[in-house]
Amino acid sequence: MIAVIDYGAGNLRSAVRALQHVGADLVVTDDPALITGAAGVVLPGVGATRDTMQELERRGLATIIPQIIAAGTPFLGICVGMQVLAQTSEEWSDHACLGVAPGAVRRFPAEVGKVPQIGWNQVCFTTEHPIFAGIPNGADFYFVHSFYVDTPDERYVAGRTEYGLSFPSVLAFGSVVATQFHPEKSGRWGLALLRNFVRLVAAHDAGNGERLAETAAAKAS
């Protein structure tokens, strides 16, 4: 079961429909117990990091999400769901985010041109990762954002996009994958990415089941 976190995000329904389309068994919830017990977790998002953090804190999820990530549960963050993984954000005044990835959320500078970036843009992979299985390097995905994650540690970056400057459009570290673009609005390649995430969750869950069985067998002997 994949838990899709419901904190009032505007893209929740479209993300849920896309996940269901690729075969995900999911629950939409803000219940910390259900989220903690899920085999995988998705944090969709649109809007501002400050509002998102306030809602996560109000629902008791701002401490739960880092715990889930530390425990190795597969986690997918989408758009603002990626940005809040950073340490801080300058959107609507400086404030703390979840702090599970190094760096800060910054506004595109005026010299990049039109802000927000709205539309299709290429994602160039900087590392191999199973989330990209079957997706060509340089594939187009759909973006809507005025801010981006500025991280000093390239080890956290799995994909980059050019929009006046090069910014991380995919983060991948541990069991976490996060995208600045909206896979649920990105056609065949977005669905492929979501399908890959569902497969990662299934593989991780199967591995946990095997380890539990091995532990039980060892105790029985």
Catalytic residue among 55, 79, 91, 145: 79
* CA–CA separation, 166 and 200 (whole Å): 28
- Radius of gyration in angstroms for the set of CA atoms belonging to the chain, rounded to a whole number: 17
Q: Is residue 184 annotated as a catalytic residue, yes or no?
A: yes
Q: Is 162 a catalytic residue?
A: no
Q: Which of 91, 97, 145, 184 is catalytic?
A: 184
Strand segments, DSSP code E, in 98-165 are 104-107, 117-122, 124-125, 140-145, 147-150, 157-162
Map tokens 């089941």 to a residue. Answer: 209
Residue with tokens 């080890």: 155
Q: Which two tokens stand for residue 12?
A: 């929740």
Single out the catalytic residue among 55, 95, 182, 214: 182
At 198, the amino acid letter reads V
- 55 φ/ψ angles, rounded to the nearest 5 degrees: -70, -40
Query: Does the annotation mark 124 as catalytic?
Result: no
Q: Tell me the catalytic residues.
A: 79, 182, 184
